[in-house]
Amino acid sequence: MEAGLGSVFTRKLEQFAPLGDEDRRVLDSIVARVRQVRARTDLIREGERPKGVHLVLAGFACRYKLLSDGRRQITAFLVPGDFCDLHVSILSEKMDHGTATLAPCTVVDIPREAILRLLERPALARALWWATLVDGAVLRQQVVSLGNRSAEVRAAHLLCELLLRLRVVGLADGDAYELPLTQADLADAVGVTAVHMNRVLQALRSQGLIASEGKTMAIPDLEGLRAFSGFSPNYLHLGPGQRASVAALAG
């Protein structure tokens, strides 16, 4: 399937820097393969060399690493608009981690040359640097969480972050969003066992901080969750266009 990139991608990039007409034209000229990928499927494995950049248009994916004992650490959740492997692909290096879908996804494969063409335009290059900066910042935040916070607080922080990131791409309905993950998936990101993740979620529910049913996650008391988890959105480096999404959150 061949098609333009649709609006999610453009909207995502415009969040970071104002684009000129010519920038937009270059963006629109990218022809990429769009495809549906079912849940729990590798997009690219550690050690492989990506042919192009993968971009999530819909669904839920992740970056992960496997350990020798079979355990999996999820190092990032990828939501619509997120690049799976931008930096590695620009350099055509070998992947130092894998990426995989967690839920059914719509994925775009952008050829490497197309990305290199984007990089020639300063405003677009800036947007890509920005995406990379946010990527790193989210990772630093995860390090802080894993190194210092209890499992309960880590989980709360993650759910807070996901709400905000999904709001940015218009996928959070007020204070609720679809979270098509198993407790084991969350556990692999938060760095606990699935058993413990279950107890953590129960605790958060009983404190009225979250209200999940099925695959829907609701945050009835965002300010409460924010305070509990010590969340501050500064590290997401949201653009001016997104400040409204943050209005509810101090900092």
Partner DNA sequence: CGCAAGATTGATAAAGATCAAGCCGGGTGG
Partner DNA sequence: CCACCCGGCTTGATCTTTATCAATCTTGCG
Report the C-alpha gap between 108 and 56 in whole angstroms: 6
- Residue 194, contacted partner among DNA, a copy of itself, none, CB below 5-8 A by kind: DNA
Q: Which residues of this chain interact with DNA, rule CB under 7 A?
A: 150-152, 182-184, 191-196, 198-199, 201-202
Q: Which residues of this chain interact with a copy of itself, rule CB under 8 A?
A: 47, 63, 65, 67-68, 71, 73, 75, 87-88, 90-91, 93-94, 96-97, 119, 125-126, 129-130, 132-133, 135-137, 139-140, 142-144, 146-148, 188, 190-191, 230, 234-235, 237
Contact 41, 92 (CB under 8 A): no
Report the C-alpha gap between 66 and 44 in whole angstroms: 13
Residue 159 CB, shortest distance to DNA, in Å, is 14
- Residue 11, contacted partner among DNA, a copy of itself, none, CB below 5-8 A by kind: none
Residue 65 CB, shortest distance to a copy of itself, in Å, is 5
Closer of 95 and 171 to a copy of itself (Cβ): 95
Give counts: helices (H), strands (E), the chain.
10, 11
Report the C-alpha gap between 240 and 154 in whole angstroms: 27
Closer of 38 and 94 to a copy of itself (Cβ): 94
Tokens standing for residue 162: 């996901």
Closer of 61 and 88 to a copy of itself (Cβ): 88
Residue 5 CB, shortest distance to a copy of itself, in Å, is 22
Residue 204 CB, shortest distance to a copy of itself, in Å, is 19
Contact 37, 105 (CB under 8 A): yes
Tokens standing for residue 85: 């492997």
- Residue 182, contacted partner among DNA, a copy of itself, none, CB below 5-8 A by kind: DNA
Report the C-alpha gap between 233 and 165 in whole angstroms: 10
Residue whose pair of structure tokens reads 């900092």 in the numeric block:
251
Tokens standing for residue 51: 């042919």
Of 6, 11, 10, 22, whose CA–CA distance to 167 is shortest? 11
- Residue 193, contacted partner among DNA, a copy of itself, none, CB below 5-8 A by kind: DNA
